[in-house]
Amino acid sequence: MIAKIMLHLASEIIQHMANRLADAVRAFHMAQATAAASAQRAAEDREKVTEARDQLAVAIVEASQSGMRQVDIVRVTGYTRERVRQILRSHGIAPD
């Protein structure tokens, strides 16, 4: 009788541990999926930043070509004067 109770208790303990292990595996897989989705979103966001930076560079060049002073471009963009000069030089425009 005691052996039967011990066997039942051992079986319950094993089942409990198996359930906890299964829960931990599910949580791990969900975390992996979340991390993968986050990495994908981060990659997409980096691409958007790159596109926006390129568009800003084009707008800076267009502003300069239309006669806007570099000091005003600096004020509007928040870029440093040197960064504005770098962008303009990379597009073949001599600094002021």
DSSP state of 25: H
Terminal Cα distance for the chain, rounded: 98
Secondary-structure breakdown of the chain: helix, strand, coil percentages, each rounded to the nearest 5: 85, 0, 15
> Is the model more confident about 73 or about 5?
73
Residue 96 has pLDDT above 80, yes or no: no
Residue 53 has pLDDT above 90, yes or no: yes
CA geometry: angle 47, 56, 81, nearest 5 deg: 125
Report pLDDT for 5. 81
Residue 90 has pLDDT above 80, yes or no: yes
